[in-house]
Amino acid sequence: MASGARNGGGGLGSRTTAKMDRQQGSTATPKAPAGKPRLSAAGGGAYRRTSSGPLPAAGAGGGRNSSESGVSSRVRVAVRLRPRNAEEQAADADFADCVELQPELKRLKLRKNNWESDTFEFDEVLTEFSSQKRVYEVVAKPVVESVLEGYNGTVMAYGQTGTGKTFTLGRLGDEDTAARGIMVRAMEDILADITPETDTVSLSYLQLYMEMIQDLLDPVNDNIAIVEDPRTGDVSLPGATVVEVRDQKSFMDLLRIGEAHRVAANTKLNTESSRSHAILMVNVRRAVKGRSEMNVSMSAENGHSSSMMDSLRPPIVRKSKLVVVDLAGSERIDKSGSEGHTLEEAKSINLSLSSLGKCINALAESSAHVPVRDSKLTRLLKDSFGGTARTSLVVTIGPSPRHRGETTSTIMFGQRAMKVQNMVKLKEEFDYKSLCRRLDIELDKLIAENERQRKYFDDEIERITAEAQYRVAEAEKECKVSLENEKMKYHQEYLDSIKILEEKWKVHQQSPKKQIKEESTSNGDVQDLLQNEKMLRQSAEDESNDLKNQLSHWKKMEV
């Protein structure tokens, strides 16, 4: 393999092409323009929001097709060299490393012999002295930032067994925080960037072991089925355990649980060789602040009030997924010394990695057929290679010349992966479920408020009724007292009147007797007077008669 002819891995045309690819890879990941998402009709007149980075100018053939197709983004590949271990320092003491790194030029030279080597270029070249922080910043951090912006992202480690894939990705760093791997650092950045009140982060931790998807957080769930959406082609694992993460401590606890359940074995090449592909899926759901112009125009056209439209307008969310894949190491049976069940594990690992390599080759060559369905691993990574995710691959290699063949295979895998183009898309959608929940909450609030108002009105009516009854009772009491007082008053007046009448009656009773007495007294006097008068009259008559008689007598005498 001549250095000049094979530069770039025997598939990339020249250094210039490789540099252009690097430039494209460094700028291909789009960022959503603030406040200018595209809208396209989706299903039954409902609006679905899909944005794919910078929007094309009007009349430039953009429209819905451009929005749906996304922006091309090449898979970025970094190579990391593991330092010599104790066994290699003893066995290869008289031999030079099989690789020579030129990190400032982002080149790697693979020695064929003492005078001939092949040169390859990568997006990043990480020496054995590169820190975990440096590896994270150049390999995973751009992907994590894209995930936080609403894009899907994949970080994957590929390499021969014992070259540091699990160390690079899954190292917890309990003893030394500087040794933390990509998983821990990625979750730190995600949790630091989200808003707990409106955003959620959940994860699933799985392993693909002997072509069976097993739940590392729930070992009983050991055969999870892959479900593929027939409309969109998206792959999901509805049977996997999903745990919401709110802080770094709970995430670390989940990682420890998963690592404790992951299958590992002791081989000649690695004392703790992973016998399964570990897959960490982190789902990020973020609310988009602000409202689209369409919603504003709709509210203006329909003439609804702003508060009403705000309550009925579904919120906009971005759902992104970060997939971190720690592939089991490829191994040669004669070197690893696998036998029995470990041999069957190695066969399964190599078979799935071979299927992944075939898919990478087909995508790199723009083949019409990509054998995605040959393995569950390729089905799970369907979105990572040739899909809509931003993908970053780190290939790990060892320095030992005894494993030059495996190192060459790993480097060639990375070179082919650099040719794979993904169509990175940002998808925003209306969160109708959240709207329903919000409306349910509002409805519950209104029902509760109605019940409160009704109870308040009932209590108020009861209070007013009680107060009215009290006032009526008080009024009746006052009236009763008043009536009693009036009754007593009138009764007293009656008694007084009766007394007065009695006195008057007594006076009246006494008055007739006195009058009668007086009358009787006066009658007696009158009778006496009459009697006297009678007597006087009688005497006068008698005297008159006497006189008359005397006169007659005298006349007669005269005669």
| Mean pLDDT of the residues in the chain | 77
What is the pTM (predicted TM-score) of this model? 0.65
Phi, psi of 550 (to 5 degrees): -65, -40
Provide the token pair at 505. 């009656």
Whether 245 and 254 have beta carbons less than 8 Å apart is answered as yes
CA dihedral over 134, 22, 70, 394, signed as positive or negative: negative
The reply to whether 181 sits in an annotated binding site is no
CATH 3.40.50.11930 for domain 43-53+67-292+312-430:
no
pLDDT in tens, 492-533: 777 777 777 777 767 766 665 566 566 666 666 666 766 776
Greater pLDDT, 45 or 131: 131
Contacts of 504 (CB under 8 A, 6+ apart): none
The reply to whether 408 sits in an annotated binding site is no
CA dihedral over 214, 215, 216, 220, signed as positive or negative: negative
Map out the domains of the chain as residue ranges. Answer: 43-53+67-292+312-430
For the chain, report the end-to-end CA distance as a whole number of angstroms.
230
Provide the token pair at 469. 């009854």
In this structure, of 171-175, 196-200, 318-322, the range with the lowest mean pLDDT score is 171-175
Query: Amino acid letter at 86?
Result: A
Long-range CB pairs of 123-126 (<8 Å, 24+ gap) are 123/22, 123/25, 123/26, 123/76, 123/77, 123/78, 123/418, 124/76, 124/78, 124/79, 125/78, 125/79, 125/101, 126/78, 126/79, 126/80, 126/81, 126/394
Whether 142 and 25 have beta carbons less than 8 Å apart is answered as no
In this structure, of 33-37, 120-124, 234-238, 321-325, the range with the lowest mean pLDDT score is 33-37
In the three-class reduction of DSSP (H, G, I as helix; E, B as strand; rest coil), residue 254 is classed as helix
Residue % of the chain over a pLDDT of 90: 33
Provide the token pair at 139. 């390999």
Residue 210 pLDDT > 60, yes or no? yes
Provide mean pLDDT across the span 302-326: 73
Residue 44 pLDDT > 50, yes or no? no
Helix, strand, coil % in the chain, rounded to nearest 5? 50, 20, 30
The reply to whether 165 sits in an annotated binding site is yes
Dist. CA 260–CA 256, nearest whole Å: 6
Whether 109 and 119 have beta carbons less than 8 Å apart is answered as yes
The reply to whether 160 sits in an annotated binding site is yes
E strands along 356-510, which residues?
Answer: 390-397, 421-424, 426-430
Q: Which helix (H) or strand (E) holds 559?
A: none
Contacts of 149 (CB under 8 A, 6+ apart): 31, 32, 318, 320, 426
The reply to whether 521 sits in an annotated binding site is no
The reply to whether 166 sits in an annotated binding site is yes
The reply to whether 161 sits in an annotated binding site is yes
Provide the token pair at 313. 């307008």
Residue 460 pLDDT > 50, yes or no? yes
